[in-house]
Structure 1
Amino acid sequence: MKKRLLMLAIVPLLCIGIFIYIWQTSTSPVITYFEEDKVMNYHKTSTYLKLLSEESRDSYEIGWKSHSVSERELYLRQDVSLLFHNGRLRGVKSKWKENASTIKLKEKVTGEDSNYYQAITYHHGEVHYPDDRITSIQQMSYDQLYVIDSPNTALRSFKKAESDFEYEWKRLLRHTTEQQLAYSWNQLMEHFQVDKSSYRAVPLTALKRFNQEALPSFTPVQTNQIIGQLWEGLYKNYIIPLVTSKSKSETLTSYTPVILFDKQKTHLMVLYEINGEKKRLIQKYPAF
């Protein structure tokens, strides 16, 4: 009898737990592009990398931050930031808030040896109006940091080279990064049989330029929509799987995705891999 009563008590609790899990999963926010808001904007958006300290003779600590403030509280605010070193993924941070204007992301990561760090953040907000009309605002921010950790010199860092010593290290680290990414991207293009001459290739870490720069033959408003829908696809197909993979394994291998803009201006393609699995995302342009 006691066992039966215990089961009768446990089953409803299990059902409630399953319901809560499903509800939370199904209502997790996603980045959704809506028509660009003509009035609302950001007061501030930033991404910041800094060498904090030397942890030991073999390692050091990097500070990785992003910060965004909209002009007023919005129905939904969401930021996602990605950190790469020498072209390889180092970390992903994502945060969302309801009825908020400010989002801050802050993380410390440990590094070893000399590295070229790059971080890009996508800042997104949904603006809801009383007539059920929904618009959105978006902005990208970026930072980079060169860290020199050599047996022959003291640990140091810089963002822009200002001396012959720094220019030489910048050249070396960028060359190493570009070689790694060229190899990775060529493998992806060969795998998916992509004709390189038909596309304009842009690394994910270079997307910030489209805050001000329009895509060829597109207006700034059209560019804003293409980039917003690109991040919507990236979040769903690249960022969420990254977080899922990271929770299952301590090791995660991914390199900076390459965005291929079709020269015929009909679509874009994103090529990337997660733990050796090659992926392709194709997005057609809207009918402007």
Structure 2
Amino acid sequence: MKKVWIYWVLGLLVLAATIAVFTQSYTEEAVIKYFPLDETTAFKSFGTSLEFSGQEDEDEYEVVWEVSSESEKPMYLRQDVSLLYVNGRLKGVVSKWEENASIIKKKTSIHGEDSQKYQAVSFHHGELHLGEEAIRSIQATSGDELYVIDSPHTKRTSFTSPETPEEEEWKQRLDHTINQQIRAQWDELLAHFQVKESDYTAVPLTRLADFEDKELPGVPKGQSERIKGQLWEGLYKNYILGIHDTNSSHPIQSYIPLLLFDKKGKHVMVLYEDDTGKKHQLLQYY
């Protein structure tokens, strides 16, 4: 009888340990997954901000990168993920999730030098589990950009939109140089995958937040939110998670991905190149 009791207790301990490991594995690998949108709740607020924090020394300065969101009520799983590009190249990703929470906040300081263009795009997501009902979700996209001018010939300054002729000149100069570099890589990707750009509406990933309150280009009417949610799910799985995977190619230092929305309303294509030079093509059919 004593042996039976010991085996029974050990069995319970093994079961408990197995459940604990499974739960830990699930939570540590929390991913963004699209579920039908819930019509009864939404975000109270969400946003991404890039702010010039100040001068560290004569050669360096600091930029504060912040992403935050608050849902109207606590969610089973809340998560925000944000990507930062500097002069068109990916410099970092932040991701934060909380269980049974409504608020997500993440603030990061970036050290910079010389004149730079900073762009951030973020996806805010929440899963709602209500007993036997189907899982629902809420979602939103936000973004921000910041120009920092750091030149021996002018006073160090920053702006989102130029307010003086000098700032406008610096904006045009930076945009021209960055766009030339990005365009060259996009042309290589289009040629490599034999894609005819005129069949698509091209949108840089960093401009996706522009469509937060309007339809995506060329998609079936009323389907934008579903397509947007599934697009972010695919980006998270295939593009963002690669940043943390040291055993495979990751996109750090790569240029902004190009989103191509089919003008016939059939699919969206994502093209990007990782830092090893490997070219990637993702396809999402509607």
TM-score, length-scaled by structure 1: 0.87
> Does the alignment pair 1:66 with 2:67?
yes
Output the CA distance in 2 between the equivalents of 1:47 and 1:217.
27
Match of 1:270 in 2: 270
Alpha-carbon distance between aligned partners in 2 of 1:22 and 1:190, rounded to the nearest angstrom: 45
Q: 2:121, 2:143 within 8 Å by CA — same for their partners in 1?
A: yes
Distance in 1 between the 2:31 and 2:231 partners?
A: 13
Q: Which AA in structure 2 matches 1:232?
A: E
**Counterpart secondary structure, 1:244:** coil
Letter of the structure 1 residue corresponding to residue 273 of structure 2: E
Aligned Cα root-mean-square deviation (Å): 2.4
CA distance in 2, matches of 1:217, 1:169: 34
Structure 2's unaligned 5+ residue stretches are 1-16
Q: Please name the residue that 1:200 is paired with.
A: 201
Partner of 1:229: 230
Q: Does 1:139 align with 2:133?
A: no
- Partner AA of 1:76 in structure 2: L
Q: CA deviation at 1:115?
A: 0.7
Q: What does residue 14 of structure 2 align with?
A: none
Q: Does residue 283 in structure 1 map to residue 284 in structure 2?
A: yes
Asked if the contact 2:199–2:262 (Cα under 8 Å) also holds between the matched residues in 1, the reply is yes
Distance 1:216 1:272 in 2: 20
- CA distance in structure 2 between the aligned counterparts of 1:215 and 1:248, rounded to whole angstroms: 32
- Measure the CA separation in 1 of the matches of 2:32 and 2:84: 19
Q: Please give the per-residue CA displacement for 1:71-129, whole angstroms capped at 9, x wherever unaligned.
A: 00000101100011111111100011110000011101111210111111100011111
Structure 2 counterpart of 1:190: 191
Would you say the 8 A contact 2:124–2:139 is kept in 1? yes
Contact 2:46 2:70 survives alignment (8 Å): yes
Q: Do the aligned residues in 2 keep the contact of 1:92 with 1:243 (CA within 8 Å)?
A: no
Letter in 2 for 1:264: K
Distance in 2 of aligned mates of 1:206 and 1:187: 21
Cα distance between partner residues in 2 of 1:100 and 1:199: 39
What is the alpha-carbon distance in structure 2 between the residues aligned to residue 250 and residue 197 of structure 1? 29
Amino acid at match of 1:268: V
Alpha carbons of structure 1 residues 207 and 66: separation in structure 2 relative to 1, 3 Å: same
User: Is structure 2 residue 210 aligned with structure 1 residue 209?
Assistant: yes
Structure 1 Cα separation of the partners of residues 129 and 217 of structure 2: 31
Q: Do the aligned residues in 1 keep the contact of 2:239 with 2:251 (CA within 8 Å)? A: no
1:1-288 alignment, distance < 5 Å: 20=21, 24=25, 28-216=29-217, 218=219, 221-245=222-246, 252-275=252-275, 276-285=277-286
SS at match of 1:34: coil
**Residue 59 of structure 1: how far off its partner (Å):** 1.6
Residues 249 and 108 of structure 1: is their aligned pair in 2 closer, same or farther, counting only changes over 3 Å? Answer: farther
Deviation, structure 1 residue 20: 4.4
The one-letter code of the counterpart of 2:268 is: L
Change beyond 3 A, Cα 1:201–1:94: same
In the TM superposition, what is the alpha-carbon distance from 1:248 to its structure 2 partner? 8.9
Provide the C-alpha distance between the structure 1 equivalents of 2:151 and 2:219, rounded to a whole number of angstroms.
46
Q: Structure 1's 149 and 93: CA in aligned 2 closer, same or farther, altered over 3 A? A: same
Question: What is the alpha-carbon distance in structure 1 between the residues aligned to residue 169 and residue 177 of structure 2?
Answer: 12
Q: Flag structure 1 segments of 5+ consecutive residues without an equivalent.
A: 1-15
Describe the SS at the equivalent of 1:151. coil
Residues 7-34 of structure 1: per-residue CA shift (max 9 Å, x gap): xxxxxxxxx89x9499627961111111
TM-score by length of 2: 0.87
Q: Which moved more, 1:209-218 or 1:151-160?
A: 209-218
SS at match of 1:253: coil
Give distance in 1, aligned partners of 2:253 and 2:218.
Answer: 36
In 2, Cα distance between equivalents of 1:125 and 1:76: 6
Pairwise CA distance, 1:55? 2.0
Q: Is residue 86–residue 115 contact of structure 1 (8 Å, CA) maintained in 2?
A: yes
Conservation of the 8 A alpha-carbon contact between 1:50 and 1:64: yes
Quote how far apart the aligned CAs of 1:63 are.
0.5
Identity %: 48
